Amino acid sequence: MAVVRYNTADINLLARLLRAEAEGEGTKGMMLVGNVGINRIRANCSDFKGLRTIPNMVFQPHAFEATTKGYFYQRARESERRLARRSANGESTWPGKYSLWYFRPVGNCPSTWYNQPLVGQYRLHCFYEPTATECQNVYNTF
């Protein structure tokens, strides 16, 4: 069952984001990007208030570097579309399960990112979760 509403165009858009942001991180890395994106829609808190759709999330200003780079505009492949559907249907894995932020630092992962605690690292990306008091919705099961 979907945790966010989507249609075919939304899945293609999310799949392009997964590919552009994390293709080099493999299947799990792309899935983690999907987790973060879907969490942003579900959370409705912090920097992500009012994001209700996949296009709102993908094109939120300054949210994903890939949307400002040419690589984002490559077509989605079926493998990325499958991952996008899995994310939109609520499948998640650590460290993306409740994360709202990730980034790829030059060195080691800082212990916090904009005052959010580090919860884990997958390959080159660091993942950060909000506090439960700040963003309760991301921890709710739908």
In a domain? residue 13: yes
Give a yes or no: residue 1 inside a domain.
Answer: no
Is residue 124 in some structural domain? yes
Cα gap 110→115, rounded to integer Å: 10
Please report the pLDDT score of residue 70 as a whole number: 73
Q: What is the pLDDT of residue 140?
A: 79
pLDDT digits (tens, 9 = 90+) for 96-135: 999 999 999 999 999 999 889 999 999 999 999 998 888 8
Instruction: Kindly state whether residue 2 falls inside one of the protein's structural domains.
Output: no
Band (pLDDT 50/70/90 cuts) for residue 83 is very high
pLDDT score, position 69? 78
Model confidence pLDDT, tens digit, residues 58-69: 999 999 988 887
User: Does residue 3 belong to any structural domain of this protein?
Assistant: no
Cβ-based neighbours of 10, under 8 Å, separated by 6 or more: 53, 54, 55, 88
| H/E run at residue 102 | strand 101-103
Cα distances from 139 to residues 40, 73, 134, in angstroms, run 11, 32, 11
Task: Decide if 53 is inside a domain.
Answer: yes
46: domain CATH number is: 1.10.10.2520
Residue 51 lies in a domain: yes
- For tokens 């409705």, what's the residue? 44
Domain count along the chain? 1
Band of pLDDT at residue 141, cut at 50, 70 and 90:
low
Confidence band for 137, pLDDT divided at 50, 70 and 90: confident
Strand ranges across the sheet with 101-103:
101-103, 125-128, 116-122, 112-113
DSSP H/E element including 59: none
Residue-range definition of the domain harbouring residue 21: 8-139
